[in-house]
Amino acid sequence: MDDLLIIVLAAGKGTRMNSSRNKMLHGLAGRPLIKHVVDTSRELTDDIVCVVGHQAEKVRGAAGEEVEFVFQEDQQGTGHAVWQAEEYIRSHSGDTLVLYGDTPLVTAETLKDYINNHRRRQAGMSILTAELDDPAGYGRILRDESGSIMDIVEEHDCRGEEAQIKEINAGIYCFASQLLHEALKQIDNDNAQNEYYLTDCLYYIKEKAELASAEGDPAEIIGINDRSDLAAAEKVMQRRIKSAHLDRGVTLIDPERTYIEKRVEIGRDTTIYPGVTLRGETRIGRECLLEPGCQLKDARLAEKVNVLQGSVIRKSRIERETSVGPYAYIRPGCSIARGCKIGDFVELKKASVGEGSKVPHLTYVGDAEIGSGCNVGAGTVFANYDGENKHKTVLGDGVFVGSNTTLVAPLKLEDGAKTGAGSVVVDDVKSKTTVLGVPARFYKRED
């Protein structure tokens, strides 16, 4: 939106989280709270200032590089926090939107409507409110007989009937920047908390311009103060994420028992069973199948990949028409080509598997390169570690590894090589040659 400055307040400790980490660093749908607010802000403007304090460097890292930062050394209230961005406000000719870093559920669409209403009414200050059945923890909106806002009373300062008011202050404000700058100079800390409240700006501004308000969705204005709030916000975010995937043609057998983080992408006609967890920057193609209990993080699945029950895939790529599992573990750095089978209780680590190859079951493959059309028998172990260093094993195309073979790296089996069941292979094997025994020795060569 044109000529908009956004100030994100993120300096507090968040003591009610009972955590050694700043509240802004706690995760929601796979991203820090502050990152959700910054990403929403970026949909509105590039002029974003984040007020940081407790664990400032970590909060900066979580917020991202394309944000300006100011430091609040002593937390003396919201008015004091906004004043730390005084130089940005003073030099800004348009409107200033103030957001809290611990209110991650408000959407860009809601904020756009709110700001447009502020501008249509040419208001000096606009306040986002909401009606809550339980308003505890929020400031209350006081209105006169005509319905105009008279005051905002913070929770700590509520007296008598004020505490029973259901309309609350959502903590999201839009100001004419120059009026905000003037008003911040007028506020004091004469209140129960001895803090400078940003809400006190309304006393100055209402003498100069109109006060406006808009009612927001209670589900969007949830502030994260403790772990219970975080859990409630996660439920809201999960409903949004899964609803969007359903609308895009993804089948979720039981959405309530599926966990999907915000950055995950899923192709149309993919089916996901209960108990699946999708995290990080996972990308899933069309017509895939994910059975119960699968866990994927930063995984890349092409089209028509089947991930069977209980399998785990981390930072690896699986090409189309490949089957993984059940109960397979694909560790970071793996690449599995088209039409492969990675079976039950198989573990892969830093391994590439060529097109059409099979590692059907009960096998460990570490630091390996497997060619196309290979078959690795049950119980095979790629012995990649000598106690000090990791070594690589290379299988050419069409290699057949007998059951219970141990391949002691560094090792190379050329195209068409075979091993007998139970062999321990310590030397390279030539093309179309069969070896067997402990240690494995030449058995025969195929013409």
Radius of gyration for the alpha carbons in the chain, expressed in angstroms and rounded: 30
pLDDT one-digit tens code per residue, 38-90: 999 999 999 999 999 999 999 999 999 889 999 999 889 999 999 999 999 99
**For the chain, give me the number of helices (H) and strands (E)?**
8, 40
How is domain 227-445 classified at the architecture level of CATH? Answer: 3 Solenoid (2.160)
Q: What percent of the chain has pLDDT over 70?
A: 100
361 is catalytic: yes
pLDDT one-digit tens code per residue, 329-387: 999 999 999 999 999 999 999 999 999 999 999 999 999 999 999 999 999 999 999 99
Residue stretches of the annotated binding site for Mg(2+):
102, 225
Residue-wise DSSP of 354-397: -TT-EEEES-EEEEEEE-TT-EE-TT-EEE-B-SS-B--EEE-T
Residue stretches of the annotated binding site for UDP-N-acetyl-alpha-D-glucosamine:
9-12, 23, 72, 77-78, 100-102, 139, 154, 169, 225, 331, 349, 364, 375
**Burial track 101-115 (b if 16+ CB lie within 10 A, e otherwise):** bbbbbbeeebbeebb
Q: Give the C-alpha separation, 71 to 10, whole Å.
A: 10
Which residue out of 54, 80, 181, 361 is catalytically annotated? 361
Residue stretches of the annotated binding site:
9-12, 23, 72, 77-78, 100-102, 139, 154, 169, 225, 331, 349, 364, 375, 378, 384-385, 403, 421
Q: What percent of the chain has pLDDT over 90?
A: 87
Q: What pLDDT, on a 0 to 100 scale, did the predictor assign at position 66?
A: 85
List every span in the chain annotated with CATH 2.160.10.10: 227-445
Model confidence at 434: pLDDT above 90: yes
| CATH number, domain 4-215 | 3.90.550.10
pLDDT one-digit tens code per residue, 116-162: 999 999 999 999 999 999 888 888 999 998 888 988 988 888 888 88
With cut-offs at 50, 70 and 90, classify the pLDDT of residue 2. Answer: confident
The mean per-residue pLDDT over the stretch 406-419 comes to 98
Three-state secondary structure call for residue 71 = strand
Yes or no: say if 409 and 382 are a contact pair by the CB < 8 Å rule: yes
Identify the bridge partners of residue 365 per DSSP, sorted by sequence position.
348
Q: Give the C-alpha separation, 343 to 329, whole Å.
A: 10
Model confidence at 447: pLDDT above 80: no
Q: Which structure tokens are listed for 356? A: 């059409």
List every span in the chain annotated with CATH 3.90.550.10: 4-215
Q: What pLDDT, on a 0 to 100 scale, did the predictor assign at position 305?
A: 98
pLDDT one-digit tens code per residue, 204-215: 999 999 999 999
Model confidence at 425: pLDDT above 90: yes
